[in-house]
Amino acid sequence: MSAQPAHRPRTQSPPQPNRHPLRYGYGTNGLTDLRLDDALSLLADLGYDGVGLTLDHMHLDPLAPDLAARTRRVARRLDALGLGVTIETGARYVLDPRHKHGPSLLDPDPEQRARRVDLLVRAVHVATDLGAHAVHCFSGITPEGTDEDSAWKRLAETLAPVLDAATTAGIPLAIEPEPGHLLATLDDFHRLRRTLGSPDTLGLTLDIGHCQCLEPLPPAECVRAAAPWLRHVQIEDMRRGIHEHLPFGDGEIDFPPVLQALAATPYQGLIVVELPRHSHAGPQFAEQSLPFLHRASGAPSPPQAPDETPIPGEEPVASEGRTP
């Protein structure tokens, strides 16, 4: 963590007209040391509105037997806890234990591409059964030896059956511009959208940190530019030119204008904290992140539970209670 005062928004923005309450979630890819049921209980206790559920071997494994039955159990648990959900598909090694995020939609081998398509179609079915508001995906890195035009054509062709499944299910498919991938920017999203004929089912996952990392516009302007296509939002701190997901206060993003811009869009899905490299202290970061976002947005935090005994050598962190 940085030496600057932690978890304080840098500016205070005045209330704006036509704002709606923001709904926050936390990604299970930042809670990989917890069982899924424990992670869901933690987020409900902290006052989160929902969860970004990454399908992975430790959390609702999409390749293990009895997926439908296991999904029904998770659906009941989400309902009991009052948590919304979006389905994320960024598990590092769920398909290939040796290659991060492989195979992708751009893999040169059609059989390998089909494995990624199968995972995404499974994710659509899971999302349907859970009542999720979107399914997240990404393009992948352009394979060595593949020219750009061929890569874009391959992406559009490979994504088509996933879009068909999402359209049938009535679930938006929210593709994420990812630094280093073929589809890396908002302009790239629009290129794919036009190539596919602007299907209603294809939407956008906007990662606020990625906007800070490489978009020419400031993050708040990115939100306004992306508003008509927003189907999922991820949020964390980040620095310009460095693709490293950071806890709030450790990067360069001025969050009050970003959250103000989000509140002024029609988007009312989850805004999911994404700290996948901080699972070693996931409960701590989940506890710290929600109060930060409430302060940055100018919204009141949920009532606080009595303070717990601090861990020696660490600052005490107030527990957030869930509103009855």
Residue 17 lies in a domain: no
pLDDT tens, N- to C-terminus, the chain (324 residues): 433 334 334 444 444 446 789 999 999 999 999 999 999 999 999 999 999 999 999 999 999 999 999 999 999 999 999 999 999 999 999 999 999 999 999 999 999 999 999 999 999 999 999 999 999 999 999 999 999 999 999 999 999 999 999 999 999 999 999 999 999 999 999 999 999 999 999 999 999 999 999 999 999 999 999 999 999 999 999 999 999 999 999 999 999 999 999 999 999 999 999 999 999 999 999 999 999 999 999 977 665 444 333 333 333 333 333 333
Q: How far is residue 233's CA from residue 223's CA, in Å, rounded to a whole number?
A: 10
User: Per the domain annotation, does 226 fall within a domain?
Assistant: yes
Contact yes or no for 286/26 (Cβ under 8 A): yes
**Domain that includes residue 188, residue range:** 24-297
pLDDT tens-digit readout, 232-261: 999 999 999 999 999 999 999 999 999 999
The answer as to whether 171 is a domain residue is yes
Whichever domain contains 183, its CATH number is: 3.20.20.150
The pLDDT score that the predictor gives to residue 160 is 97
Closest by CA to 166, choosing from 209, 115, 203, is 203
Alpha-carbon distance of 186 to 114, in angstroms, equals 26
Q: What is the pLDDT of residue 18?
A: 60
The rounded distance, in Å, linking the Cα atoms of 207 and 226 is 11
Q: 186, 208, 319: which is closest to 258 by C-alpha? A: 208
The pLDDT score that the predictor gives to residue 301 is 63
Q: Would you state the pLDDT for residue 258?
A: 98
CA distance 285 to 200: 35
For 50, residues 6+ apart whose C-beta sits below 8 A from its C-beta are 23, 24, 25, 43, 83, 84, 85, 86, 270, 272
In a domain, 245, yes or no: yes
Report yes or no on 152 lying in a domain.
Answer: yes
Q: How many domains does the chain have?
A: 1
The burial class, CB within 10 Å (0-12 / 13-18 / 19+), for 5 is exposed
pLDDT number for residue 311: 31
Pick from 190, 158, 160: nearest CA to 177: 190
What is the distance between the alpha carbons of residues 244 and 193, in angstroms, rounded to a whole number?
A: 27
17 cis-preceded (ω within 30 degrees of 0)? no
310 falls within a domain: no
Structural domain contains residue 306: no
The verdict on residue 213 lying in a domain is yes
* Distance between start and end Cα atoms, the chain: 33
CB neighbours of 296 closer than 8 A, spacing ≥ 6?
Answer: 9, 248, 255, 256, 259
What whole-number distance in Å separates Cα of residue 84 and Cα of residue 50? 4
